[in-house]
């Protein structure tokens, strides 16, 4: 059931067709989020505390909002209404990547956007995909950009990120008390039984696998006018073409300088045979293929 249209007012402007960028950790959603943030007339946040609190609460405990769609939608709208507000000191508590994308120095206390000329809103906070259902219910006119990347590259990047890996600390893992558990990718009893003995790479693979399944569910539930799927590899190999598609979909001219720079660096590393993160070892790659091989094949990533 779709939510009735709700008009959210932020800084005296109606929030219409907000753009949300979703994907598994290290899928490239942050790169697109930064491009959107640099677009004139767009106010894009990436880790506002008010938003992250709700995202992680809903992502890690879906039982909180299951059967409570209207209440969950209200909570999400309130979180974004607070996160999108432009005030003189509104960016002080924001994430470091968001402040950097907005051109703010570490010790700056001004806002990353100006209310004058503001027309659109968006968000590319980490792990937004794990509460995508509640998000699209809260904003039925939302435009969703979902980013897909080869799960083996995602897992390699996750393993190299201490912030991502911190979620696997025993004090934070709740697969026994919250089941099924989208955030940790635990869907079946077999997944839950095997969890204690899984390697870090296997646990990352489960998270990627569920994000792909959520992406497929979004694809089935939203019309093409509201959902755009971008393959990270295409973003790097054809940045101008992919950027043009994103601009048409979002209705905003996206600055592509950073995307081109990342693409150029990726090509140079490829020629030098130096990947941006250490490649997966054979055993880890085999575990990813075993746990998420179906999803890899369905997305067109060859198993070798």
Q: How far is CA 184 from CA 53, 144, 199, in A?
A: 17, 22, 13
- Residue 188 to residues 38, 178, 179, Cα–Cα distance (Å): 41, 12, 8
In this structure, the number of other CB atoms found within 10 A of the CB of residue 304 comes to 5
Residue 112 is predicted with a pLDDT of 73
Q: Which helix (H) or strand (E) holds 74?
A: helix 69-84
**CATH code reported for the domain at 13-298:** 3.40.50
Strands (E), the chain: 8-10, 13-15, 19-23, 42-45, 120-123, 143-148, 227-231
Question: What is the number of alpha carbons within 13 Å of residue 304 lying toward its C-beta?
Answer: 4
Q: Are 130 and 214 in contact (CB under 8 A)?
A: yes
Question: Which residues have CB under 8 Å from 244's CB, separation 6+?
Answer: none
pLDDT of residue 267: 76
What pLDDT is recorded for position 106?
61
More confident residue, 240 or 115: 240
Q: What is the pLDDT, as a whole number, of residue 273?
A: 44
Confidence (pTM):
0.90
Chain mean pLDDT for the chain: 87
Average pLDDT, integer, range 148-177 = 95
Task: Say if residue 271's pLDDT is above 70.
Answer: no
Average pLDDT over residues 262-291: 76
Using pLDDT thresholds of 50, 70 and 90, give the confidence band for residue 11.
Answer: confident
Contacts of 229 (CB under 8 A, 6+ apart): 146, 147, 148, 215, 219
Distance CA 102, CA 105 (A): 9
Question: Starting at the edge strand that comes first in sequence, how are the strands of the sheet with 19-23 ordered?
Answer: 42-45, 120-123, 19-23, 143-148, 227-231
């Amino acid at each position: 059931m779709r939510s009735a249209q709700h008009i959210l007012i932020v800084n005296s402007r109606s929030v219409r067709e907000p753009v949300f960028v979703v994907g598994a950790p290290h899928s490239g959603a942050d790169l697109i989020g930064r491009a959107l943030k640099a677009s004139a007339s767009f106010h894009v946040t990436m880790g506002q505390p008010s938003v992250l609190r709700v995202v992680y609460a809903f992502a890690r405990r879906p039982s909180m909002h299951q059967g409570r769609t209207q209440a969950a939608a209200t909570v999400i709208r309130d979180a974004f209404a607070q996160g999108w507000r432009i005030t003189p000191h509104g960016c002080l508590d924001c994430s470091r990547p968001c402040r950097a994308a907005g051109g703010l120095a570490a010790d700056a206390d001004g806002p990353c956007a100006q209310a004058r000329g503001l027309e659109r809103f968006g968000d590319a906070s980490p792990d937004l995909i794990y509460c995508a259902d509640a998000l699209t219910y809260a904003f039925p006119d939302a435009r969703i950009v979902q980013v897909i990347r080869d799960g083996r590259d995602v897992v390699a990047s996750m393993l190299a990120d201490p912030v991502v890996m911190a979620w696997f600390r025993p004090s934070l893992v709740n697969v026994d008390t919250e089941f099924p558990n989208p955030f940790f990718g635990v869907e079946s009893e077999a997944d839950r039984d095997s969890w204690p003995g899984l390697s870090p790479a296997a646990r990352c693979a489960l998270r990627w696998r569920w994000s792909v399944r959520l992406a497929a569910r979004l694809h089935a539930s939203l019309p093409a006018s509201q959902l755009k799927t971008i393959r990270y590899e295409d973003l790097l190999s054809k940045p101008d073409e992919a950027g043009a598609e994103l601009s048409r979909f979002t209705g905003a001219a996206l600055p592509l300088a950073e995307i081109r720079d990342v693409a150029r660096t990726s090509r140079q590393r490829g020629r030098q045979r130096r990947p941006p993160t250490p490649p997966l070892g054979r055993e880890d790659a085999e575990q990813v293929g075993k746990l998420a091989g179906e999803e890899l094949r369905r997305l067109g990533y060859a198993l070798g």
